[in-house]
Chains A and B, each alone.
Chain A
């Protein structure tokens, strides 16, 4: 501590007694402290990591080429010979196809949400902070998109764009922007009215500095939490589009597409047919539970 020998009767008074040094934790350390004992969230985080890793390393893990079909081994049950999870209606190995399908499905779940969070989040923060006319223009445009049910909107957009991975990513991004924008706008307009924004203005902060240093960073946590719940919704929506034939074209392995093509065989091999559905279910449940856990852990103020 610096010596406070200041002239001209400049007396800081008796220096207060010092409490013993304590370790002070930062924001992310506090979040981690809370997460450490939340075993459910930790378990599902590990599960998501496992799913992502298995999709990334699918070429190494897949026992058989996912495109190799065989007329002999069609619709074999789980555990038949070398086919650990059975085969589909063209005799292709289910395990390999599920591993490769994860690549497409996870991409469809995560990429549109990331894109929509950046675009929708930014629009929402601007609308919420500026208020007035910019707010009206942005939010009423979003309301137009809200007028359509999300599935119908996705079907309409991807129906007019045609199928294929880039078009599906675009479709899902457009569908996800309005809800994220609205959450960001609500969070921002709450924060805009808070005293610390006024306090920042009163200490001479410029508009961009207030927007990025004080408003955005406070509005970001509800937006991120909401975005993580959208990942599972997005995977489901992407699977639904593939199921309807509006997503990725066959024979690309995709969980939704596999579910769609296998449905004719539901009476022949019910367990094998349900596998892509199980994969979708586990992934979306895992993302939902993790986002729930993160929401609780990130709410440091409470």
Chain B
């Protein structure tokens, strides 16, 4: 089996035009322990068309990774309560049996992890790890799977792939390891790729190479990507759409250009103001005062209200609904449009 045969029929696997590949409705995830219940995700909804790239941005603990891992049901079963609905392709994620879930993982949806050092099993060679997934889902022979592994390594532009096929993870550099990780994720031609901060552990020069590679592969394979990051530069580079998360909610959602150039939510504005891009040298970086709320005791209204400089009494009363700001942009802020315009040119 060659890449050509297995990847050539991509068009037939894509759902009918107009229907989103991913539909998440009012997703809630809480982690229950004896001491407390942590509400990590509180009503997240989004849609993703086939072949689109969505970036989820937010600070640590804002629920971006949790949202993404929910799509693969990777949370520990006993301690997690999930609500809402998630659909990927024709599969309703929350109603699948464990066996059905296993057949989707790695095939329809696959994932690239943040830390390529620990996400590859140290005792198997790169080739074995790619072949393992191929053999599991395609029930082909080991020789065929290794052939595919070699093609995949060439595909993610690993130099001298024959040699790297037999190499162990610790023998490769960080960038090569992340490429190998991407090869594992792509091995069964997923229609949705989840990437959890795929460039955070890499150094700056390699980051951009990996991003360009991801973007290129995404175009060639026609797959959708959900990318979690806290790096705005990454988002600007690769995304079609951006979702900004804060305290387990999407506070702003829209096309990458709209959100980064014309942010509507005070949190997005604060976050954009606190980057070094487009700022004069030697000026203090602006920060958002205060710290994110405790996810065990969320305030009843807007979670950002305690830190917001535009706060009104209505903000504290109830969670603001998503309000449109232009055709392709929504923000969960009751003062959308009232706030002074600040068009930024630095980031995108």
A200 CA to B136 CA in the complex, in Å?
Answer: 11
Considering only residues 79-108 of chain B, those with a C-beta below 8 Å from chain A are: 102-107
Which residues in B have their C-beta under 8 angstroms from that of A205?
A: 102, 132, 136
Residue-wise interface mask of A (1-31) relative to B, using a CB-CB cutoff of 8 A (1 in contact, 0 not): 1101011111111011111011010110000
In this assembly, does A202 line the interface, its C-beta being within 8 Å of a C-beta of chain B?
A: yes
How many CB-defined contacts (below 8 Å) exist between A and B?
117
Give which listed residue, A132, A202, A203, contacts B78 with CB less than 8 A.
Answer: A132
In whole angstroms, how far apart are the Cα atoms of A195 and B177 in the complex? 14
Known: A199-B113, A301-B170. A15 touches B106 (CB 8 A): no
Interface residues as binary, A185-229 with B (CB distance below 8 Å gives 1, 0 otherwise) = 000000000111011111111100100011001100000000000
A194 touching B160, Cβ below 8 Å: no
Q: Smallest CB–CB gap between B130 and chain A, Å?
A: 10
Contact of B157 with A11 in the complex, beta carbons under 8 Å: no
Contact across chains for B72 and A202 when beta carbons are under 8 A apart? yes
Contact (Cβ within 8 A) B154 A4: yes
B115 proximity list for chain A (CB < 8 A) = 195
Q: Which B residues are in CB contact (< 8 Å) with A2?
A: 2, 147, 151
Contact indicator A24/B105 (Cβ below 8 Å): no
Cα(A201)–Cα(B102), bound, Å: 8
**CB-based contact B121/A15 at 8 Å:** no
Give the chain B neighbours of A161 by CB distance below 8 A.
none
* B155: Cβ under 8 A from any A Cβ: yes
Contact in complex: A203, B121 (CB < 8 Å): no
Chain A residue numbers with a CB within 8 Å of B7 are 6, 10
State the Cβ distance, B219 to closest chain A Cβ, in Å: 9
Within 8 A of B (CB), among A259-302: 300-301
- A194 and chain B: residue at smallest CB distance: B118
With both beta carbons as reference points, the residue of chain A lying nearest to B136 in the complex is identified as A204
A95 to B143, CA, bound (A): 57
CB pair A13–B216 under 8 Å, yes or no, is yes
Partner of A195, one of B119, B150, B158, B171: B119
- Interface residue B300 (Cβ < 8 Å from any Cβ of A): no
Assess A12 versus B166: contact at CB under 8 Å? Given A203-B110, A204-B104, A301-B122. no
Shortest CB distance A58–B (Å): 39
Q: Which residues of B contact A9 (CB under 8 A)?
A: 220
Q: Which A residues are CB-close (under 8 A) to B158? A: 16
B123 on the interface (CB 8 Å rule)?
Answer: yes
| Partner of A217 from B114, B123, B157, B166 at Cβ < 8 Å | B123
Decide yes or no whether B3 CB sits under 8 A from chain A: yes
Q: Which of B150, B159, B184, B220 contacts A203 (CB 8 A)?
A: B184
In the complex, residue of chain B having the shortest beta-carbon distance to the beta carbon of A15 = B154
User: How many angstroms from the CA of A101 to the CA of B75 in the assembled complex?
Assistant: 56
Report which B residues bind A (CB closer than 8 A). Answer: 2-4, 7-8, 72, 74, 78, 102-107, 110-111, 113-115, 118-123, 125, 132-133, 136-137, 147, 150-151, 154-155, 157-160, 162-163, 166-168, 170-171, 181, 184-185, 216, 220
**A-B residue pairs, 3 tightest by C-beta:** A203-B106, A204-B106, A204-B105
Add 16 more A-B contacts to A195-B115, A199-B120, A200-B121 (CB < 8 A): A2-B147, A2-B151, A8-B8, A13-B216, A16-B157, A16-B158, A16-B160, A195-B119, A196-B119, A196-B121, A202-B74, A202-B106, A203-B136, A203-B185, A204-B103, A218-B122
Give 20 CB contacts A-B under 8 Å.
Answer: A1-B162, A6-B8, A10-B7, A16-B160, A17-B159, A19-B163, A21-B160, A194-B118, A195-B113, A195-B115, A195-B119, A196-B122, A199-B111, A199-B121, A201-B105, A203-B105, A204-B133, A213-B132, A300-B122, A300-B170
